[in-house]
Amino acid sequence: MTPFQAPLDDIFHSLRSLAGDLPGWDADLSEEIARHFASLAEGVLAPLNATGDQQGCRLENGRVRMPAGFSDAFARLGEDGWQGLTAPEAFGGQDMDHLTAAALSEIFSGANHALQMVTGLVPGTVSTLLAHGTTDQQARFIPRLVAGEWLSSMALTEAGAGSDLSQIRTRARPDGESWRIDGQKIFISGGDQDISRGILHLVLARTGKPEDGVKGLSLFLCPSEIDGIRNSVSVTRIEEKLGLHASPTCQMEFDGARAELIGVEGRGLAAMFTMMNHARLDVALQGVAHAARAHAIAAAYAADRQQGRMPDGSPAALSDHPDVQRMLAEQRTLARGARGMCHLALAQIERGDCPALVEFLTPLCKIHGSEAGIRSADLGIQILGGYGYLEEYGMSQVWRDARITAIYEGANGIHALTLATRGLRLDGGAAIPAFVDLVVRLAPDDAELAGRAQQWQATALEIAQAGDARARADQFAHDSATLLSRAVLLRLDA
């Protein structure tokens, strides 16, 4: 199997081209940090990717056992300070910017998506604590997360409440100064594991009446142990999945588990969204990572493998065949275009001057990034032919791991709908001209692009006014992604 190599040059060419004008961002320092992390990812995280997939996780006496080597790898992440990269210095973090964090997030996903699933919620949890927690909660929980002693999980989904969180039944009841949680959650990534001392579960539970829907939900901090004693939280099952075998997807039972409220009672969904917005661009970057990794494996294989003849009769490499070149080029376009879109969205978040555009770009990146990863892995399987269908060459795992990204953190169809409704309407439709402006400024001299951007604007206005977004959302999301990706590539190639 082609060893994992972090695509540092591509990542930083993209960041410099698309976000380089961001005030205060030090590209050289950022690249230096990413280079250090890349070395850890290549040397420590990536070698566990295939073995983790083969071994998977096991549930033994109610506890999850992770594959061999994962515990040591996580210890290295903690020791070297990577878990606290974006956390404030006051809590032991390094207060690093989100562009650098995005570069690292992509590299981590490409090296070992499953391990990232288990360790990767910490920055979102820290943000949630900073935004909604009390000073006391911040002081108690952030340092241990930053130090790599604890990890965190996000416990939202229930059997009857997937995309529709209004159906959540898990209940929280006051118990003196704290709360008790009762209920079942499913699809909880890293709901248990044996690589960190403790786990801070962020649990969405009902404090109001069922008929209150999402307004009856509050967010809770539910530690796996309190003062050294295990809390009443248990894993009742781990799922057999298509991929991400080294990431335990847990069914969890909260049986009067002790917890504390974070934020305002009844405003749980808003608190949770701090965490989820964070996660959405991370998912997009997972897709980018898979797209790039699939291309790297396929390009190396196609250059090496002899197959057939050139038109002049001399022996040909697989990469000499036009149809293989077509597939390799599409993979590369997908990776670069989707990565660039994420970098644009991150820069827009940092700028903070047009929240409506951020609300439009975030689901767009989630959709296009995830689909880019899946499509590129699928092309990779096709390029490798029979070998692509074997587990041995690693391409199959890229696809299997990538496939979830179009589903979790909000299925793509729901993001398309969000983008075509809320995204187009927020702040009086401010995203529409802002998106056109974003596209055109990426390649100001390209008349064809400008024409397409005008067409897009007409369609967007039509959808915003006609209110037929439900039927047109999927096509509109894909057209939007095609347009922005095209503009991104023009800029990257300029």
Binding site for a second copy (CB under 8 A): 157, 160, 162-164, 186-187, 239-243, 306-309, 321-324, 326-327, 374, 378, 381-382, 385-386, 388-392, 396, 399-400, 403-404, 406-408, 411-414, 416-417, 470-471, 473-474
Neighbours of 180 (CB within 10 A): 20
Q: Which is nearer to a second copy, 13 or 422 (CB)?
A: 422
Please, what is the minimum distance in Å from the beta carbon of residue 398 to a second copy?
Answer: 11
| Selected catalytic residue, list 106, 260, 371, 409 | 409
Place of tokens 């990232």: 116
- Say how far apart CA 169 and CA 112 lie, in whole Å: 34
d(CA 187, CA 230): 22
| Amino acid residing at 476 | F
* Other beta carbons within 10 Å of 36: 12
Phi/psi at 420 (5° precision): -85, -10
Which tokens go with 110? 């490409």
Smallest separation, CB 121 to a second copy (Å): 17
Q: Where are the beta strands (DSSP E) in 118-175?
A: 150-155, 171-175
Query: Side chain identity at 292, as an amino acid letter?
Result: A
User: By C-beta, is 62 or 160 nearer to a second copy?
Assistant: 160
Q: Which is nearer to a second copy, 167 or 457 (CB)?
A: 167
* Matching residue, tokens 């269908």: 389
Least Cβ distance, residue 178 to a second copy (angstroms): 31
**Smallest distance from the beta carbon of 117 to a second copy, in angstroms?**
13
Does residue 253 contact residue 234 with C-beta atoms inside 8 Å? yes
CB 208 to a second copy: min, Å? 18
- Pairwise CA distance, residues 437 & 433, whole Å: 6
Q: Which residue's CB is nearer to a second copy, number 304 or number 437?
A: 304
Torsion 298-484-342-467 (CA) sign? negative
Q: Is 265 a catalytic residue?
A: no
The smaller minimum CB distance to a second copy, of residues 81 and 162, is found at 162
Nearest of 308, 324, 325, 327 to residue 316 by alpha carbon = 308
Q: Which residues are catalytic?
A: 409
